[in-house]
Amino acid sequence: MVDSVVAVLARRRVALGFLCGVATLAFAQPTLRSIAAGMSIAAVGESLRFWAAGHLNKSREVTSSGPYRWVAHPLYLGSSIMGMGLAVACASVAVSALIVVYLVVTLTAAMRSEEAFLRRTFPDGYDRYRRGDAPPQKRFDVAQAMANREYRAVVGLAIVALLLIWKATYNGSFWRAGGP
């Protein structure tokens, strides 16, 4: 039962993210300062994601190069940093709580699901990786990051920033916080 719930959450995390995104925009109270600070933090998270995506050959190997040398799930760490940035940009306690709940529930499910897949598919390679015995295989490759469709996260982050700027401008807080 628990495994099936974990699998559903892992598969549906993007769709759930869009639903949470609508609620996030509805409850956000962004200002120029909160957007600048939050999007700076989110950009760090997306940079980590892009770096990780440039080393990852999904479902074909256990990756041990790039950020995978130090962190088991750098894509999810990057997503979490992006979520923290979004929470700062939105300047809302309700949004922050929603983001934390979403990230904890969905990313925990995704990590459990992916670790089970890697253990089943690459038992020796995954165990070596977890012990720290796997040598790094390759260098960062922009084409690999693009093949992993990381550009979607970059575009999504830009759209979120524009929506928050629109909302800050629309509700007047942008101008009160030192906008142009």
Rg of the Cα atoms in the chain: 18
Q: How far out from the chain centre does Cα 32 lie?
A: 23
Q: When comparing pLDDT for 2 and 59, which is higher? A: 59
The model's confidence at residue 58, banded by pLDDT at 50, 70 and 90, is: confident
Q: Which residues contact 170 (CB under 8 A, 6 or more apart)?
A: none
CA distances from 56 to 53, 65, 74, 103, 145 (A): 5, 8, 10, 21, 8
Range in 1-15, 55-69, 97-111, 136-150 with the lowest mean pLDDT: 1-15
Q: Which tens digits make up the pLDDT trace of 92-133?
A: 999 999 999 999 999 998 999 899 999 999 998 898 898 888
The model's confidence at residue 175, banded by pLDDT at 50, 70 and 90, is: very low
